[in-house]
């Protein structure tokens, strides 16, 4: 049978996360002040605003992932009850696929890895497709556990992330799975504070622990890799820090580089982690720290 996180367990995890986040922010601010030396109070305040926004986004994204995961495991339980088929199965899949703008489609998969039902109907062409060779589906069918995939090209024809759960009959027999495709870019973009939507005072990336970009506020395409980053400004030091970002749960670095006009700049990069079912995303925020003498150096504000 499928075991889902209890409410008390989740509350404990959230409480631990809040405490850890407060300590993390405090450490980062103290570190920033120590490293800054003569850095203006306005700059430290801007760093605080960015780090606070990172923590806020982390909480929202993590909660969304938990909610989507719960919808899938509950859907799997419903499909297993009396081995639901036809309209009953479609009603369950419809509930899953209507879990917000990030949800794309939900499918029911047979014990051999073939899609047998889908919602919404516009994706009906995938019925009959064999997805048994997908890495996360292989893991699910071998271990009989819920999973979340990395970004991959779906049978629907576009990149997405899949949350999947095994389906068991009332007597505990494995009878297949159900999956929910989600758009990580839509999920992450919808949970960012206003100043992090590409027009504010900091940039945002979300990357897998292999460096694959899931979201970039500067327009870098999903599926590109942070190790070969080619975004505006082409911060080469960001590439050199990619290994730290992908290997460390959270962190804080200063990057020396040049901007698109060739001027020397310093970029403050902070990151933390969200994820479910053993799959993690690094949420990365970065802001330029103006060099002394540039406009508004002592009067920078967050918009």
β-pair type (203-208, 147-148): unpaired
At which residue do the structure tokens 């580089």 appear?
Answer: 257
User: Is 213 within a domain?
Assistant: yes
The answer to pTM > 0.75 is yes
Residue 133 lies in a domain: yes
Q: What's the CA gap between 133 and 204, in Å, rounded?
A: 33
Do residues 114 and 261 both lie within one domain?
no
Query: Cα separation of 167 and 76, whole Å?
Result: 5
Domain boundary among 121, 148, 182: 182
Q: Which domain holds residue 162?
A: 76-182
**Is 71 part of a structural domain of the chain?**
no
Among 182, 205, 228, residue at a domain's last position: 182
169 with 200, same domain: the answer is no
Q: Is 249 a domain residue?
A: yes
CB atoms within 10 A of CB 92: 24
The pLDDT profile of the chain, 303 residues, written as one tens digit per residue, is 434 444 444 444 544 454 455 445 455 544 544 444 545 555 667 788 888 899 999 999 999 999 999 999 999 999 998 777 889 999 999 999 999 999 999 999 999 999 999 999 999 999 999 999 999 999 999 999 999 999 999 999 999 999 999 999 999 999 999 999 999 999 999 998 776 554 457 889 899 999 999 998 877 778 888 777 655 555 555 666 788 888 899 998 887 766 667 777 788 889 999 999 999 999 999 888 865 433 332 223 222
* CATH number, position 157: 3.30.450.20
174 domain-assigned: yes
Among 159, 182, 205, give the residue marking a domain's end.
182
Q: 83 with 146, same domain?
A: yes
Task: Note the residue count of the chain.
Answer: 303
Give residue 109's Cα distance to chain centre.
25
Domain count, the chain: 2
Ramachandran quadrant class, 91 (left: phi over 0; alpha: psi -120 to 50; beta: rest)? alpha
- Which pLDDT score, from 0 to 100, does residue 189 have? 92
First to last CA, the chain: 49
| 167 and 90 share one domain | yes
d(CA 163, CA 138): 13
- pLDDT of res. 195: 62
Residues 135 and 232 in one domain: no
∠ CA 161-162-167 to the nearest 5 degrees? 175
Burial 14-52 (b: 16+ CB within 10 A, else e): eeebeeebeebbeebbeebeeebeebbeebeebbbbbbe
């Amino acid at each position: 049978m499928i075991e889902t996180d209890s409410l008390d367990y989740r509350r404990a995890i959230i409480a631990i996360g809040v405490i850890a986040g407060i300590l993390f922010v405090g450490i980062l601010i103290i570190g920033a002040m120590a490293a800054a030396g003569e850095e203006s109070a306005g700059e430290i305040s801007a760093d605080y605003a960015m780090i606070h926004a990172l923590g806020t986004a982390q909480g929202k994204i993590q909660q969304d992932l938990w909610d989507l995961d719960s919808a899938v495991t509950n859907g799997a339980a419903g499909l297993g009850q009396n081995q639901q088929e036809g309209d009953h199965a479609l009603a369950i899949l419809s509930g899953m696929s209507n879990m917000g703008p990030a949800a794309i489609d939900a499918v029911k998969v047979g014990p051999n890895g073939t899609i047998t039902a889908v919602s919404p109907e516009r994706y009906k062409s995938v019925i009959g497709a064999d997805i048994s060779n997908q890495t996360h589906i292989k893991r699910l069918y071998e271990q009989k556990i819920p999973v979340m995939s990395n970004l991959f090209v779906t049978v629907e024809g576009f990149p997405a992330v899949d949350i999947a759960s095994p389906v068991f009959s009332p007597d505990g027999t494995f009878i297949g799975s159900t999956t929910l495709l989600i758009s990580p870019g839509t999920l992450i973009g919808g949970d960012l504070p206003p100043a992090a939507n590409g027009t504010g005072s900091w940039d945002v990336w979300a990357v897998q622990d292999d460096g694959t970009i899931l979201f970039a506020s500067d327009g870098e395409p999903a599926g590109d890799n942070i190790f070969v980053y080619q975004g505006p400004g082409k911060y080469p030091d960001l590439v050199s820090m990619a290994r730290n970002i992908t290997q460390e749960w959270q962190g804080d670095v200063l990057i020396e580089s040049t901007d698109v006009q060739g001027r020397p700049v310093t970029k403050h990069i902070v990151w933390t982690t969200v994820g479910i079912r053993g799959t993690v995303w690094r949420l990365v925020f970065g802001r330029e720290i103006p060099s002394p003498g540039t406009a508004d150096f002592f009067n920078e504000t967050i918009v």
